[in-house]
Structure 1
Amino acid sequence: MTRIIADISVSIDGFVTGPDPGPENGLGDGGEALHTWAFSDDPEDRRVLREATARSGAVILGRRLFDVVDGPQGWNDETGYGAGEVGRPAFVVVTSEPPEPVRLSGLDWTFVTTGLPDAVAVARERAEAASSDSGRDLDVVLMGGGATVGSALDAGLVDVLTLHLSPVVLGAGTPLFTGGARRTLVQRSATTTSTATHLTYEVQ
């Protein structure tokens, strides 16, 4: 069964970037600390990253995040979604207008201009096709940014929420939660390392 999993790193005070994020400063001032765990040598951090990327049949991201990862300072062979961990899943971008051109032309990009629910539907189709091809269950991973994850939660589109709670207080930035729809979460796992607490919840 294909699940929709929102997976994002967040500070103790609830921010998914530091102040002043932008194409040249993707995670904002001090925001790099949110992803320290992803580059850690801790075996548990490596396991969390490996399992998260391995289950990805398709990945959804918003246009702002796409502009960051496809920008000059964005992803490369060493840094990117699951770099060095797994193959490359399909990427689905929610946007009002597809970009042209795309720097990361070696990745499988689909641009959906009709809203987040349609993007989720497209990503689910891609993940189900990948599941059929691979012979194992794969999921849709909603990687961000914060507004996209928050909107998906508000719209009831998320089955599982995975938070990588980083031990940093950013003070300002892009908040994950902005007072949207009330949701009940059921905690399914918690793994603590020196760089993060990895929390997994089912969304009711």
Structure 2
Amino acid sequence: MTRIIADISVSVDGFVTGPGAGPDDGLGAGGEALHTWAFSDDPEDRRVLSEGTARSGAVVMGRRLFDVVDGPGGWDNEVGYGAAEVGKPPFVVVTASPPKTIRLTDLDWTFVTTGLSDAVAAARERAGDLDVVLMGGGATIGSAIAAGLVDVLSLHLAPVVLGAGTPLFTNGATRTLVQRSVTPTSTATHVVYDVV
């Protein structure tokens, strides 16, 4: 059965980017510390990343995140979905309007203009027997959890306090989480919850 997994790196104080994040600086000031684990040589970090990339039948992201990954400083042949693994599942982007051009034309992009639930449904159709992964940004994941669209929340808790940036959670519906696993590594604590 296809699960909907929200998977994102977050600071100890709840931010998924540092301050000043935008198309030219996708992670904002200090935000690169959030993804240290994805480039780590720690065997457990490598396992978490590899398993996450392998289970991704389709990936959902918001338009702001698309603009970062498709921008000039975004993904390339060495760093992409799954960091250095450069996974290539189908990508579904929630947007008010599709972009006029796409730099990463070797990836499978679908642009959904009718809302997050339709984007998740489109990704579910593309995922086959694998999972749908919501990779962000923070507003997309927060909205999906508030709307009851997420089965699993996978957080990669980076040992950094950013003080400001893009929060993962803002005013949303209360959700109960059931802890499934905790994997501490030298660069992060990987926590997986069922969303009930």
Q: TM-score w.r.t. structure 1 length?
A: 0.94
Aligned to 1:105: 105
Structure 1 pair 98/18, CA: closer, same or farther in 2 (3 Å)? same
Give the C-alpha shift of residue 85 in structure 1. Answer: 3.0
Q: How does 1:13-162 map to 2 (within 5 A)?
A: 13-85=13-85, 87-128=87-128, 131=129, 138-162=130-154
- Distance in 1 separating the partners of 2:56 and 2:133: 6
Change (3 A) 1:109 1:26: same
Matched, 1:178 2:170: yes
Identity, % of aligned positions: 79
Q: Is the 8 A contact 1:3 1:140 kept in 2?
A: yes
How far did 1:82 drift?
2.0
Q: Residues 18 and 31 of structure 2 are in contact (CA less than 8 Å); yes or no, is this contact kept in structure 1?
A: yes
Distance in 2 (alpha carbons) for counterparts of 1:107 and 1:164: 25
**Distance in 1 of aligned mates of 2:78 and 2:85:** 10
Deviation at 1:24, TM superposition (A): 0.5
Does the aligned pair in 2 maintain the 1:59–1:90 contact within 8 Å? Answer: yes
Q: What runs of 5+ residues in structure 2 fail to find an aligned partner?
A: none
- Deviation track 1:38-97 (CA, whole Å, cap 9, x = no partner) reads 000000000000000000000000000000000000000111102543741000000000
**Map of 1:135 onto structure 2:** none
Contact 2:81/2:87 (8 A) holds in 1: no
Q: 1:8 to 1:54 in 2, by over 3 A?
A: same
Quickly say closer, same or farther: Cα 1:125–1:79, change in 2 above 3 A: same
Cα RMSD after superposing both structures: 0.9
CA distance in 1 between counterparts of 2:17 and 2:40 reads 19
State the match for 1:167 in structure 2. 159
Task: Flag as ranges the 4+ runs of structure 1 deviating above 6 A.
Answer: none
User: TM-score normalized by structure 2?
Assistant: 0.98
**Equivalent position SS for 1:53:** helix
CA distance in 1, matches of 2:56, 2:21: 26
Conserved? CA contact 1:77–1:83, under 8 Å: no
SS in 2 for 1:44: helix
Q: Which runs of no fewer than 5 residues in structure 1 stay unpaired?
A: 132-137
